[in-house]
Chain A
Amino acid sequence: MTLPFRRRHHDDETAHDRARALWSTAMLEPLDGADWTWLESHLAGCAECRLEHEAYLADRELLRALRNTQPEPPRDLWARTSAAIEREATRHARGQARGQNGFPLGERLVPRRVRLPLGVLSGALVALVVVATSLAPRNPSTGGLPSAGGSDVARISPKVGPSPLAVNPAPVAWVQTGADGTTRVITADVAEVCPSEKSGCAPLQHSAGSSLALGAAPEALVGSPSSNQLIVVSGSQSSHPGSVIVVPVPTPAVEPTTSPAGSSTPTPVITVPSSSVGATPAGSLGPTPVPTPVGAHSIAEGVAVVGETRYSADGKWLAFSAQPFDGSTGPDLYVWNGTDPAALAVTTDHATYFSSWLGDTILASRLPPVEGQPSPTTGPSPVAPPTDAAGLPTFERHPVSFVFDPATGASTDLASVDVWLPTVDPTGRFMTYWSGSIIAGPGRSGLRLGTGHLVLDGWLAPLGAPVASAAPVTSAAPDGSAAPARVGPAGTPIELVIGPVTAFDTQFDPTGTRLAVWVADAGNGTVGTLRLVVLDRALGAINDRLTPLQSERALKGVSMDEGRLAWVSPPGENGNQSSVRVLAWFHDDFGQVQTLPGEQLAIIR
């Protein structure tokens, strides 16, 4: 018979490949009759294959000879293992005695952190977190908190029950505003979560944490890493001028809180008087000591804080962007060194936006002026600007981001333009940013994302590398003579969000392997969708195999920390109240817990 086409060379290869696959399988398990017959026939007609097959059999025998050298495990292995199991059982029993399903932690299963007594935690934790508070709608009529100073116990209910996952993430904290206007800070330690793919297990009561009372509802709380100060940001989102107030954190021995188990936990109480807000004329920034019993004082007054307020990792610096409350100019970058009476403006272009800390340097973005646009300092331009749908003037601008060292004043622009609000993971491997333009309109809130994408990229400069340019907030010399080392995106961006983005927040965990991506709903900047992205550092890419949180409804202001992501679910969705939700993980095992539903919740970080 003549074939209608020439026999291709790789037909042989395909047959040989099939033979290899079959004899490999035959070493594992019996082949079916047809396969066996084909293999025998193939081997009979292929001397080379027979040799290769024999070589494979010889390799196998060589491999199996390793069985003769069975390694001896340590003699105390069972003692260690049984002790670890015993501890698990004991902890579980304790959890049950407290009315919780506190699944125990294994010996080496307990990751790095050492658990602290709740009393210590209640005081220290508050100083370690930032409260993102503009999120929760305030409705005093529905607040459900007891009076200020009373004890609170965080009740965390795992979603599912049969196979809880023991975890030991960073503690979680949040605020709840009561009917009397008192804001209460609640902390909780999460010991177990339930695998997210399971559902329907009975809610479990888990008591943890204690409370801290605040006398006023702030928009943000930033705790210093040294645990001795609390930064209270207020007024940025309201019609009244805002402030940034420093409040000393008292020693946690002021007020006892009784836990369900009967133990007494000291609960520090901080009162932030509402009279401290707006004490100076709009537009001014300066020290305004507030005579309060807790010794609070203002480091910025009459302002609107723009974006996040964050401490550096070493706790020596605080950074934020702020603009005069009347919107007469755009924002500048402010830093506070913890000892000066007021925060210091380190830019004067009125167009700089704080983004994040990168080691002990700051990542910030600015909007260079464009032709035809009025400068904040020179007044209106005669050129008619483009307008938006409402007829308001708009300008598409191309942001520049830079690294700023608050200790030296040195600044280096990132090599790429159209990089907006970059965030670099704490290990200096990945970065996220808005890759595109910004549309600038009039007024205090006239900024929006233009054409572009929210992306994940590589970060070029090593973490902590010295920045090259000494000129504050300026680009490299045009002739390249004093060009700084190239820093910024590595040029292989991955789009994080498909579709339009109006506002976003991205946060890496301390290991740089987990990335929280929150994207605001169109038309509502306080509610959005949250996703957790697992990063493969070896490949420099997203690990698509692990999708522990793909699209969760969440209020703005999520909190990412070691071993967990926390957020508040929006109220009113599916007829439910808000709850604080936590996704925690140990290695690649993920699970969730949530509080009982409540009102006026805002996550702390």
Chain B
Amino acid sequence: MTGTWDHDTAGAFVEALFAKHHGEIYAYLLRMLRDGELAADLTQDAFVKAYRAYASLEKDENARAWLYQIAHRVALDEIRRRKIVRMVPFTGESKGAAPSAERIAMDVRLSGPLERALARIPERQRDALLLAELHDLTGLELAAAMGVSHVAARAILTRARQSLRAALAAEKDAERSTEAERDIEYAERARGEQ
């Protein structure tokens, strides 16, 4: 599907694509960025980009993976932009290490240890895990969406699973210590009441 194309065709195609996939694209961007409003804006961006890039879609059957590829780039662009805002000094001294209010609010919203663990692993690995496990991309689709080779995509996914394992373990440790502290507190309170 290269060469010239008319905008009606592109518009109709993107409309159908939106009807079929906008929910999962929104969910993917929300899980990547953890901000509902931003995820909605970026979902819109992704579909407008898809409209503009319609000529670059070679086969209709690849449309879903192609859409994820666009969404992936949109997400990474946003993450990169955020990193620019949160730059650290060139000298390596870490200033402003305290989390922002926005970050704290987002972290509080994360309900369970899994989501907190996901938030702890590198973005690229989280991306691979989400695309493979929640959005059912195949190995080749994952590679295309991430813009890497098939071998590299598998390697990233393997590292992602290891990172998630470690992050979940850390979450469980943290939960255990919180519970232990709570037990001590209850015990002290009970002694006080006696």
Contacts and interface: CB of A to CB of B under 8 A. Distances in A.
A73 B154 contact: no
A80 to B, nearest CB: 5
A106 B45 contact: yes
Interface stretch (A23-31, A123-131, A471-479, A523-531): A23-31
A318 interface: no
Interface in A64-84: 64, 66-67, 70-74, 77-78, 80-82, 84
What bracket does the count of chain B residues touching chain A fall in?
35 or more
Interface string B129-168: 1001110001100100000000000110110011011001
A81 B133 contact: no
B52 A103 contact: yes
Nearest to A462: B89
A460 interface: yes
B40 A59 contact: no
Interface string B2-40: 111001000100110010001100110011000010011
B27 A81 contact: no
A85 B84 contact: no
A149 to B, nearest CB: 40
A327 B3 CA distance: 61
B170 interface: no
Nearest to B37: A74
A55 B36 CA distance: 31
A460 B95 CA distance: 13
Interface in A509-561: 511, 513, 537-538, 540
Contacts of A86: 11
A537 B44 contact: no
Interface in B28-76: 30-31, 36, 39-45, 47-49, 51-53, 55-56, 73
Contacts of B83: 537-538
* Of listed A24, A107, A163, A460, residue having the most chain B CB within 10 A: A24
A85 B44 CA distance: 9
A429 interface: yes
A63 interface: yes
Contacts of A163: 52-53, 55-56
Contacts of A24: 154, 157-158, 161
B91 A490 contact: yes
B138 A28 contact: yes
Contacts of B23: 70, 72-73
Given A81-B43, A108-B41, A60 B133 contact: yes
Contacts of B77: 587-588
Contact of B3 (A55, A103, A162, A587): A162
A94 interface: no
Contact of A106 (B3, B52, B88): B52
Contacts of B158: 20-21, 24-25
B94 to A, nearest CB: 12
Given A59-B161, A74-B40, A460 B91 contact: yes
A88 B39 CA distance: 21
Interface string A365-400: 000000000000000000000000000000000000
A419 to B, nearest CB: 16
A106 B49 contact: yes
Interface string A464-508: 000000000000000000000000001010000000000000000
A567 interface: no
Interface in B113-131: 114-115, 129
Interface string A32-65: 0000000000000000000000011001101110
A458 interface: yes
Contacts of A28: 132, 138-139, 142, 154, 157
B22 A77 contact: yes
Interface string A417-448: 00000000000011000000000000000000
A63 B129 contact: yes
Contact of B22 (A63, A64, A78, A92): A78
Contacts of A25: 139, 154, 157-158
A79 to B, nearest CB: 10
Nearest to A103: B52
A509 to B, nearest CB: 12
A511 B139 contact: no
A311 interface: no
Nearest to B132: A28
Contact of B48 (A56, A60, A85): A85
B90 A429 contact: yes
Nearest to A457: B90
Contacts of A21: 154-155, 158
B15 A59 contact: no
* Of listed A59, A62, A84, A85, residue having the most chain B CB within 10 A: A85
Given A107-B48, A109-B48, A513 B133 contact: no
A106 B48 contact: yes
A511 B85 CA distance: 10
Contacts of A104: 52
B114 A540 contact: no
A84 B41 CA distance: 11
A59 B22 contact: no
A513 B85 CA distance: 12
Interface of B: 2-4, 7, 11, 14-15, 18, 22-23, 26-27, 30-31, 36, 39-45, 47-49, 51-53, 55-56, 73, 77, 80-81, 83-84, 87-91, 114-115, 129, 132-134, 138-139, 142, 154-155, 157-158, 161-162, 164-165, 168
Given A71-B26, A85-B47, 18 more contacts: A24-B161, A25-B154, A28-B138, A29-B138, A56-B161, A66-B115, A71-B27, A73-B43, A80-B40, A81-B47, A84-B48, A85-B14, A106-B48, A108-B44, A459-B90, A490-B90, A513-B84, A588-B73
19 contacts: A21-B154, A28-B139, A28-B154, A29-B138, A56-B161, A59-B168, A63-B164, A64-B133, A74-B36, A74-B40, A77-B40, A77-B44, A81-B22, A81-B48, A104-B52, A109-B49, A459-B90, A513-B84, A588-B73
Q: A-B pairs with the 6 shortest C-beta distances?
A: A458-B90, A106-B48, A73-B26, A24-B158, A587-B77, A538-B83
Interface of A: 20-21, 24-25, 27-29, 55-56, 59-60, 62-64, 66-67, 70-74, 77-78, 80-82, 84-86, 88-89, 92-93, 103-104, 106-109, 162-163, 166, 429-430, 458-460, 490, 492, 511, 513, 537-538, 540, 587-588
